[in-house]
Amino acid sequence: MHKLSRTAKGTMVTGAAMAAALGLAVSPASAVTYTVSGSSSTGAITATATTPTLTDTTTGTKLTCTSSAATATVTNGSHGGTLGTINTVSWNTCKVGGITFSVAAQGTPWTLTGTAATTSAGVTTGTLSGVKATLSGLCNATFADPSGVGNGATLNATYTNSTHTLAITGGTLKAYNVSGLCLGLINNNDLATYSAGYVVTPTTLNVVSP
């Protein structure tokens, strides 16, 4: 019978420990699966939000729009984490005080991913990644991930079955390429948050995890 050296034993133990640690780190997220029902036959859905708000948390400046509309693809069936994509987003009548801005989404599609099991109240927690948008007008800026202007940000999201609402409630954006007459309201490297509640059509869309 062959005997293992202390080095070999140590390597095996270390490798097993690393594998176990990686398993513990990865398995909870990867183990969550979701079942989507009530979407359209093609998975195409639309969503609208009233008074979505972008808040510059560095200066306290708030950009408020009268509404926002989105199109997305969320197909019926089983999903291993990634629930769907946000394909287009538009905003209407966006203002800081009395100054009107145009807002345009960049880098779509954005990805909607579930990160935790659906609660008994029918709420699924997740993230919306790839989020990036430009403001243009008297003041111009790009809001994207804090780590770099080329990357879309990841924002927190929840979907509630009873209200058919996708709520964007947290996560951090950062201002880049600020130019024009911003008057200190928005500055390069300012941090910001986006808040909106998108009501989804079809209103039968349901997300659950086993």
Exposed/middle/buried for 25, CB within 10 Å: 0-12, 13-18, 19+? exposed
| pLDDT at site 148 | 85
Identify the segments of the chain with pLDDT beneath 70.
Answer: 1-31
| pLDDT at site 14 | 38
At 37-51, the pLDDT tens digits run 999 999 999 999 999
| pLDDT at site 38 | 98
When the pLDDT of each residue in the chain is averaged and rounded to a whole number, the result is: 88
**Cα–Cα separations (whole angstroms), residue 152 to 51, 173, 195:** 22, 9, 16
d(CA 174, CA 149): 8
pTM: 0.84
| pLDDT at site 202 | 97
Question: Reduced to 3 states, what is the DSSP secondary structure of residue 19?
Answer: helix
Each residue of 47-62: b (16+ CB within 10 Å) or e? bebeebebbbeebebe
| pLDDT at site 170 | 86
Q: What share of the chain is helix, strand, coil (3-state, %, to 5)?
A: 10, 55, 35
| pLDDT at site 28 | 40
